[in-house]
Amino acid sequence: MPLIGLGTYSFPNDRNTTELAIHNALQIGYRHFDTAKIYGSEPAVGKALNDAIFDGVVEREDIFLTSKLWGSDHHDPVSALKRTLQNLGMEYLDMYLVHWPVKLKPWVNYPVPNEDDFENLDFEVTWAGMEKCLEMGLCRSIGVSNFSSKKIHWLLDFASTPPAVNQVEMHPMWRQEKLRETCGDHKIHVSAYSPLGGPGNAWGSTAVVHNPIIKSIAFKHKATPAQVALQWGLSRGSSMIVKSFNKERMKENMTSFDLKLSEEDIMEIQKLEQMKIMRGEFLVNDTTSPYKTIGDLWDDEI
Check residues 201 and 93 and name the one with the higher pLDDT.
Answer: 93
E strand residue ranges, 48-196: 64-69, 95-98, 103-104, 118-119, 142-145, 165-169, 189-193
Residue 11 has pLDDT above 60, yes or no: no
Catalytic residue list: 39
Q: In this predicted structure, what is the pLDDT of residue 90?
A: 98
**Three-state secondary structure of 246-301:** CHHHHHHHHHHHHCCCCHHHHHHHHCCCCCCCCCCHHHCCCCCCCCCCHHHHCCCC
Contact 146, 279 (CB under 8 A): no
Contact 186, 157 (CB under 8 A): no
Omega cis (within 30) before 43: no
- Cite the DSSP H helix spans in 29-104: 42-54, 77-88
For residue 192, give the nearest of 34, 21, 60, 40 by alpha carbon: 34
- pLDDT tens digits for 65-99? 999 999 999 999 999 999 999 999 999 999 999 99
Q: In this predicted structure, what is the pLDDT of residue 135?
A: 98
- pLDDT tens digits for 131-158? 999 999 999 999 999 999 999 999 999 9
d(CA 61, CA 53): 10
pTM passes above 0.85: yes
Contact 143, 152 (CB under 8 A): no
- Of the given ranges (12-21, 26-35, 161-170, 200-209), which has the lowest mean pLDDT? 200-209
Average pLDDT, the chain: 95
